[in-house]
Amino acid sequence: MSEKIYYFRLPIIKFMTDVISAKAKRNAIFLVLVASLGYFVDIYDLLIFSIVRTKSLHDIGVADADLRLQGVFVINMQMFGLLLGGILWGVIGDKLGRIKVLFGSILLYSLANFANGMVHDLNTYALIRFIAGIGLAGELGAGITLVSETLSKERRGYGTTIIAVIGLFGAVAANIVGTYGWRNAYFIGGGLGIVLLLLRIGTFESGMFKNIAAATEVSKGNILMLFNNRKRFLKYLYCILIGAPLWYVVGILVTQSPEFGKALGSTETLSAGVGIQYTYIGISIGGIFAGVLAQLTKSRKLTMMIFLLLSVVSVVCYLSASGITNEQFIWLCSFMGFAVGYWATFVTIAAEQFGTNIRSTVTTTVPNFVRGSLIPINYVFNLLVLRYGMIHSGYIMMFVLTAISLFALSQLKESFSKDLDYVEDEKNFAS
């Protein structure tokens, strides 16, 4: 009798194991999809102003001679919002959970976009871009944190790569939607956010976060932990510095492509919208290659180094393209995009460097601080332009930023196969 019961139980146990395994796989796939769509919306909104900059500022009364500088003002406000939001949502993610960030950030973003479609003066435009920046700041960090903590260490690189690849096509959508009017582009962005908010009802919390949620002896979301230990602070700073060249390429070299086109002697007006679209197509393709290369070499550091060096080559090609045509511009933007396609790899490195109790804070603030670095980069670039002109200033900034990034990368430990289920001590440094 006991043998019959034993043999009867075996297929049931196997069936239940298969069911649980299948459900876990479905949940993981759904989580990656939701995080990917969140990043899609993130990129859409982050770049929509760059695409509609000239038309929108002109319509609200900004003079043609002031379009570049006033555009820098508005995008700096957006980036400042990202800096503040990165801290806010990062701490919330570690204290209250990653899921709450996904809901709160997308709701704030959506409301801000609806408001952006109704602005009629520069100051209001900049203020709402600032609020939208706060909302956007939580998307990528929370998504990468959830996926990194849910998938196995062997597969998390693929998961974060999928997020980046799908998400970056938001730039393509932004350029297409931008042709239907800048106000409509903001309204559509807000609508996309609401749809995504509804999709997120089925998401689940990270198991690693659940394990420490009730632990009162563990300090969670304490941003001061990143500054109370020299080694931990430097590691955090290095994570930020390795991504700076990417946002310089997108935020200045491509966004200000009409001005670079004039400096290069182009007889055609280069379109920033078209440039951004093809740059992000390149970033998506480069993201796939970077993710696969990291998996094959089992080294995110080697992958980052290769792509950082390649990005220098691509920028040199762009800045030396005298008499550039629109066709050449498209190919060069695609090349530059491919070369800076290490975004997902870079964010994954940040997620893998720190413990569960401050991982959301790090993973949310690091990419937003990189985006926010466009503020000082813009400032320094504008000073250089006054003395050296657009082209020479472009070279100087790229070489300096890449040198800093390579040094920062050399100071970080390889994290490809690192077990992420650990916490950082409040006072002592955890490697």
Comparing 324 with 430, the larger pLDDT belongs to 324
Is the separation of the CB atoms in 363 and 35 below 8 Å? no
At 126 the pLDDT is 92
DSSP calls for 165-206: HHHHTHHHHHHHHHTT-HHHHHHHHHHHHHHHHHHGGG----
**Domain harbouring 168, CATH code:** 1.20.1250.20
Q: With respect to residue 214, please indicate whether it lies within any of the assigned structural domains.
A: no
Mean pLDDT of the chain: 84
Q: With respect to residue 429, please indicate whether it lies within any of the assigned structural domains.
A: no
- In the chain, the percentage of residues whose pLDDT exceeds 70 is 89
Is the separation of the CB atoms in 324 and 264 below 8 Å? yes
Burial 353-363 (b: 16+ CB within 10 A, else e): bbbbbbbbbbb
Confidence check: pLDDT of 350 > 60: yes
At 82 the pLDDT is 84
To 10 degrees, what angle do helices 272-297 and 2-59 make?
150
At 14 the pLDDT is 44
At 430 the pLDDT is 45
Q: With respect to residue 425, please indicate whether it lies within any of the assigned structural domains.
A: no
Confidence check: pLDDT of 249 > 90: yes
Confidence check: pLDDT of 8 > 50: no
Q: Which domain holds residue 128?
A: 2-203+219-410
Alpha carbon distances (Å) from 228 to 29, 239, 367:
38, 17, 21
The pLDDT of 220-224, averaged and rounded, is 78
Q: With respect to residue 208, please indicate whether it lies within any of the assigned structural domains.
A: no
For residues 359 and 19, give the distance between their C-alpha atoms in angstroms, rounded to a whole number: 31
Confidence check: pLDDT of 322 > 90: yes
At 96 the pLDDT is 83
Least confident stretch, 12-21, 67-76, 101-110, 274-283: 12-21
- In the chain, the percentage of residues whose pLDDT exceeds 90 is 32
């955090």: which residue's tokens? 236
Q: With respect to residue 420, please indicate whether it lies within any of the assigned structural domains.
A: no
At 226 the pLDDT is 86
Return phi, psi of residue 292, to 5°.
Answer: -65, -40
Alpha carbon distances (Å) from 230 to 225, 226, 425:
10, 8, 14
Nearest to 32 by CA among 124, 156, 123: 156
Is the separation of the CB atoms in 82 and 134 below 8 Å? yes
Count other C-beta atoms under 10 Å from residue 123's C-beta: 12
At 326 the pLDDT is 92
Comparing 267 with 332, the larger pLDDT belongs to 332
For residues 400 and 398, give the distance between their C-alpha atoms in angstroms, rounded to a whole number: 6
At 103 the pLDDT is 84
| Count of the separate structural domains present in the chain | 1
Q: With respect to residue 418, please indicate whether it lies within any of the assigned structural domains.
A: no
Q: Which token pair is 425?
A: 């001590």
Q: With respect to residue 334, please indicate whether it lies within any of the assigned structural domains.
A: yes
What is the identity of the amino acid at 320? Answer: S
Angle at 120 between CA 193 and CA 50, to 5 degrees: 55
Comparing 66 with 57, the larger pLDDT belongs to 57
**HEC assignment per residue over 402-423:** HHHHHHHHHCCCCCCCCCCCCC
